């Protein structure tokens, strides 16, 4: 397994020092399902199905390592432009996951949160999400955040529109709009910014994922396709993060 990494900006010291630190929030761009299937002469749908197993492993590894928040980039706003048959397969897998995994998440004291523009989702999927979020709402061991029909630019535009509306209606003043206040209008307003972002498949870009929230995250790019991602890769990522010196723009 090989890896490469770049910094998203000035780093910062967390919890008194980087060495040995555990990230409070890990976010993963799950990439490579299609390439995994193509390399085996299988349809893309098989890669997505195998990717669900990797999701399960990542959730288990995060919870076992004491991660407070795990965010998975499951379906981007741009993914709606994929072939209709692939979108149907992905939505079918989402239904399957919501039916088969939510009780297990609840049993493990894991809370589910879904972020993204849900107006494009089918009514039954939205209903299942609402039910899953309600069922797991009071769980405290870890929060699993699924970014679904999500795009970072769209999220920022939605927040800007909401603030502008509040100003026009007199519920907000321009003088009170700070970075912190703006962040409170984002879909992640109740979620800490990620400390570590992992992308699989060897691609080195963040693809419109958590653009605002990634300002000071550490970025790790792994040369492993998502269906092959397992506990050992997650452990490697945590060890790599523990060796980072994070200063958030302060002097060494």
Structure-block tokens of residue 65: 């390592």
Q: What is the pLDDT of residues 7-24, one digit of tens each?
A: 333 333 333 344 458 999
Domain count, the chain: 1
246 band by pLDDT with thresholds 50, 70 and 90 = confident
Does 166 fall in a domain? Answer: yes
pTM: predicted TM-score of the whole model, two decimal places = 0.88
Does 15 fall in a domain? Answer: no
Domain CATH for 220: 3.40.1180.10
- For all residues of the chain together, what is the average pLDDT? 90
109 flagged as catalytic: no
Does 11 fall in a domain? Answer: no
Structure-block tokens of residue 153: 């630019």
Does 251 fall in a domain? Answer: no
Q: What is the pLDDT of residues 190-213, one digit of tens each?
A: 999 999 999 999 999 999 999 999
Does 96 fall in a domain? Answer: yes
Does 139 fall in a domain? Answer: yes
Domain that holds residue 143: 24-242
CA distance 6 to 219: 6
Which of 79, 120, 126, 208 is labelled catalytic?
79
Q: What is the pLDDT of residues 138-159, one digit of tens each?
A: 999 999 999 999 999 999 999 9
Residue 7 is inside which H or E element, if any? strand 3-7
Does 17 fall in a domain? Answer: no
127 band by pLDDT with thresholds 50, 70 and 90 = very high
Does 8 fall in a domain? Answer: no
Residue 48 is inside which H or E element, if any? helix 44-64
Binding-site positions for substrate read 32-36, 44, 48, 76-78, 80, 82, 199, 205-207
Q: What is the pLDDT of residues 33-52, one digit of tens each?
A: 999 999 999 999 999 999 99
208 flagged as catalytic: no
Binding-site positions read 31-36, 44, 48, 76-78, 80, 82, 199, 205-207, 218
């Amino acid at each position: 397994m090989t890896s490469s990494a770049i910094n998203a900006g000035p780093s910062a010291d967390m919890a008194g020092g980087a060495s040995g630190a555990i990230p409070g929030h890990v976010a993963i761009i799950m990439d490579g399902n299609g390439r995994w299937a193509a390399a085996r002469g299988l349809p893309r749908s098989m890669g997505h199905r195998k990717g669900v197993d990797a999701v399960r492993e990542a959730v288990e590894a995060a919870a076992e390592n004491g991660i407070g928040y795990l965010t998975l980039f499951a379906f981007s706003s741009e993914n709606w432009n994929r072939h209709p048959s692939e979108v149907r397969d992905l939505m079918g897998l989402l239904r399957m996951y919501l039916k088969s995994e939510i009780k297990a998440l609840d049993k493990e004291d894991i809370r589910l949160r879904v972020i993204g523009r849900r107006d494009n989702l089918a009514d039954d999927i939205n209903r299942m999400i609402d039910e899953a979020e309600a069922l797991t709402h009071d769980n405290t061991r870890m929060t699993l955040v699924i970014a679904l029909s999500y795009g970072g630019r769209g999220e920022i535009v939605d927040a800007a529109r909401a603030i502008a509306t509040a100003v026009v209606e007199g519920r907000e003043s321009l003088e009170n709009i700070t970075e912190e206040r703006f962040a409170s209008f984002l879909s992640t307003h109740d979620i800490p910014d990620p400390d570590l972002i992992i992308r699989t498949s060897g691609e080195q870009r963040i693809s419109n994922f958590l653009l605002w929230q990634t300002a000071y995250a550490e970025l790790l790019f792994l040369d492993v396709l998502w269906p092959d991602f397992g506990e050992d890769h997650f452990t490697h990522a945590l060890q790599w993060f523990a060796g980072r010196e994070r200063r958030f723009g302060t002097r060494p």
